[in-house]
Amino acid sequence: MNKLKLIFYALAAFVERNPVFCTLLLICAIAAPWLLKSVFTVILYIVAALLLVGLVMFGSMAWRIRSMRNQMRDRFGADNRAAGSQSGHRGASWGGFSRGRNEGDVKVHRTDRAREKRVSDNVGDYVDFEEVGDNDKH
């Protein structure tokens, strides 16, 4: 009985919030019941279409997030597992920075030869200077 009471109060509250819509709906039901049936059918199709679009968008976003998570796990997970087995605990490196090297090892990658000087040695003047201390008190 409480459920019917709650439904009745919810319908009464809807009518109080939307009096013009409910009046038009009542006139439509009395004057042209066939029109009311077609209006409800259109509303039903619109709601079904919105639900279908929502489900498709939710499914596609869930699939995209799952695929991105798998890509990140494949990219970073193998490096973390390799570093964890070397250092004795899991997750010793993040993002694959260790790649099988011990902590403190440095690897220098040489690039192309050093560029030639852009400015020749003839440009500029040498200024000879000497430092002067502030020993003088005024």
Query: Could you read off the pLDDT tens digit of each residue along the chain, which spans 138 residues?
Result: 788 889 899 989 999 999 998 888 888 788 887 777 787 888 889 999 999 999 999 999 999 999 999 998 888 876 555 555 554 444 444 444 445 567 778 877 776 666 666 777 777 777 777 888 776 665
**pTM for this prediction:** 0.36
Q: Are 99 and 105 in contact (CB under 8 A)?
A: no
What gap in Å lies between CA 97 and CA 100, rounded to an integer? 9
Q: Are 36 and 28 in contact (CB under 8 A)?
A: yes
Confidence at residue 46, expressed as pLDDT on a 0 to 100 scale? 92
Confidence at residue 62, expressed as pLDDT on a 0 to 100 scale? 94
